[in-house]
Structure 1
Amino acid sequence: MQSSSFSILLVKTSSIGDVIQTLPTLQYLRARFPEAMIDWVVEESNASLLSASSLLSNIIVINTKAWRSSLGAWKTFFSTLKNLRSKKYDLLFDLQGNAKSACVTFLARAKEKIGFDSTHVQEKINLLVTTRKIPLAKTLNAQMKYLQLIQHYFNDDAIFLPQSISMNLTFLEKNRLEILLANRSLKVPIRLMIAAHSHWPNKEIQVETLCTLLTHISTQYSVCFLFVYHTGSEKQQADYMVQRFKSQSLSIGELSLPLWQSLMSEMDGVICVDSAALHLCATTNTPSFSMFGPSLAERYRPIGLQHFSIQGSCPYQVQFWSRCPLLRKCATGACLKNLDTHHLIKVCSEWLVTIKNRLQ
């Protein structure tokens, strides 16, 4: 199985946070099979991160959103289908477990197709397309869930510790990174990236709560806050925060995923919510402090003692073991909107002490 003829296909199409959390699995496979062909099926919107990795042999890009919205896109579909079926893999790992990945898994050619059992599949139809289902503990951290599915398949009980992941930057990305790091505002003892946005509004905290936290930090340390944004509304908030903290801050947008990750690697810490930013931070050696509400920190917080988090409480006593069933439709988002600021500052202060100790 060590020969270069051995081939593996990973099916993990989205979302970007889930794709990022699967990267340690790729590290494990490449370490175990250094000469193997390892391909990955991913949505086009998430492909740039994988393209910057040197661990993959090929990336098979799909665009299911376009296929559903445009008749002309079906030509692209058939081209992708031809590419997908042009190879017969030794192993296929469906690490998504939903209906979309089931379609890819069904269409792809592989001697064996491995996926989750009924405990972890998101949609039961996925169970019909895998030839082997791996049972896993219900309460696993998401990163470990993907990794252990593959380790269990190979009967490997060894503890695999993911390392930081280096991304290949283009010339323009390298140049922009150098310019950003040369900014005088960043010539301070502690540089903190602030990424308080999420695709889901109920995962975000109140702006004034964030300001209270950052005000406390700025009075205790010589610090620069680097606010990142990707949308117009996020830019408005970043601009507001820069006005609040003036010379202690700057904002930056239009970051590719590889550039964002490389910039994170140069920070002393990242403050964020449960989002792509948090999972991207986990691919670096940079410590994180994260705030959770409608998802459980113990499931999604990065692994490592340098990563701290707090968990908001649900005033409606909704119980869940991974993500709140009301994540998308809760009218108040109270679990994060009503965070106890005293507790928030206390835990973040403990985290900052560990950062200061790292820098000494």
Structure 2
Amino acid sequence: MKVLIVKTSSLGDIIQSLNTAKYLKNKFKDIEIHWVIEKEYFPLISTYPYIDGAIIFDMKFYKKNFLSYSAWKQFFIFLKNLRKNRYDLLFDMQGNIKSSIVNFFAISQKKIGFGYNSVREWPNIFSTNFHINIETNINMGLQYTSLIKNYFQDKNYFDSKKVLLKISDIEILKISQILEHKNLQTTFKMMICPHSIWENKKMDIKALISFLNLIKKSFDFSFLIIYGNENEKIFSDKIYENFKNSSLVIEKLNIPSWQNLMNRVDLVFSMDSAALHLC
């Protein structure tokens, strides 16, 4: 059986939806799972052990360069990759107009999506032919799993423990070298993820530094400070300046390496939920 999962963005939502692939692999022995994903999140999907293939849907590039030859060329490459397989089932976990484009062009006997009462953008229902309404007041990860479990009328408990993403031997070595840094030789290690694209999730730097000082006074902690872009690095460097002997600003990591490093520290302190979903 071949299954296509459509969940293109965003990072936190994708992380919470990954267990659907694990569920399907556990339920069916002979199953092949492909996933449609935005280009920037390809490393996440391509390293998840329960997914057999990833199809890049670079919607941001298409929209930004709508009138350019290169955008249309890339879009037709996407269509070619999408339509070279015939799927038994398609599960749309995005539920918006963007995923409707994927659903429309995909070749699948059944296209399963959210019902009118739970879909994010109602025009999406015209791109699927089997609709399931789910509870929208539960954890997002459970919502995604519920869509698939309800289709199979499965009421059994599913163990949704997190799965470590695959990384190379070189990346494993790099993580070990980070943890062996002289500034991190303390009893406990805390990863600090102080950034978010949402302003209301950010913490004032003075308050954050004050909080970390309280932690340092009470426990033997060192801090691994994460950033994602140059503006975030400036903020991270300011934190480091206050803890020069017991902190380290970590060079930008890909998502799989970030998760594996996260699983080797004692505590994660994050402004955004994406990091916490990776734990």
1:117-146 CA-partner distances (Å, limit 9, x unpaired): 223322111011111111111201011110
Alignment of 1:99-138 (within 5 A): 99-138=97-136
User: Could you tell me which amino acid in structure 2 is paired with residue 64 of structure 1?
Assistant: M
1:147 equivalent to 2:124? Answer no
1:63 equivalent to 2:58? Answer yes
1:249 equivalent to 2:247? Answer yes
Aligned to 2:18: 23
User: Could you tell me which amino acid in structure 2 is paired with residue 46 of structure 1?
Assistant: Y
User: Could you tell me which amino acid in structure 2 is paired with residue 21 of structure 1?
Assistant: Q
Greater RCO, CA 8 A, separation 6+: 2
Aligned to 1:190: 188
Aligned to 1:167: 165
TM-score between both structures, scaled by the size of structure 1? 0.74
Shift of 1:187: 2.4
Q: Is the 8 A contact 1:197 1:275 kept in 2?
A: no
| Ranges of 4+ aligned residues in structure 1 off by more than 6 Å | none
- In 2, Cα distance between the equivalents of 1:244 and 1:153? 53
Query: How many residue pairs get matched?
Result: 276
Name the SS for the 1:260 alignment partner.
Answer: helix
1:27-63 CA-partner distances (Å, limit 9, x unpaired): 1111112320111000111001111122111111111
**Identical residues among aligned pairs (%):** 38
Q: Is the 8 A contact 2:227 2:252 kept in 1?
A: yes
Alignment of 1:25-64 (within 5 A): 25-64=20-59
User: Could you tell me which amino acid in structure 2 is paired with residue 183 of structure 1?
Assistant: H
The unaligned stretches of length 5 or more in structure 1 are 1-5, 282-360
The unaligned stretches of length 5 or more in structure 2 are none
- In 2, Cα distance between the equivalents of 1:164 and 1:34? 20
Name the SS for the 2:36 alignment partner.
Answer: strand
Q: Is the 8 A contact 1:199 1:275 kept in 2?
A: no
TM-score between both structures, scaled by the size of structure 2? 0.95
- In 2, Cα distance between the equivalents of 1:74 and 1:87? 21
- In 1, Cα distance between the equivalents of 2:156 and 2:267? 30
Deviates more, 1:59-68 or 1:86-95: 59-68
Shift of 1:159: 1.9
Aligned to 1:313: none
- In 2, Cα distance between the equivalents of 1:112 and 1:92? 6
Name the SS for the 1:78 alignment partner.
Answer: helix
User: Could you tell me which amino acid in structure 2 is paired with residue 211 of structure 1?
Assistant: I
Aligned to 1:98: 96
1:54-100 CA-partner distances (Å, limit 9, x unpaired): 21111111111222213322112112112211222111000000110
Aligned to 1:217: 215
Aligned to 1:178: 176
Shift of 1:274: 2.7
Name the SS for the 1:35 alignment partner.
Answer: coil
- In 2, Cα distance between the equivalents of 1:81 and 1:30? 26
Name the SS for the 1:247 alignment partner.
Answer: coil
Q: Is the 8 A contact 1:193 1:267 kept in 2?
A: yes
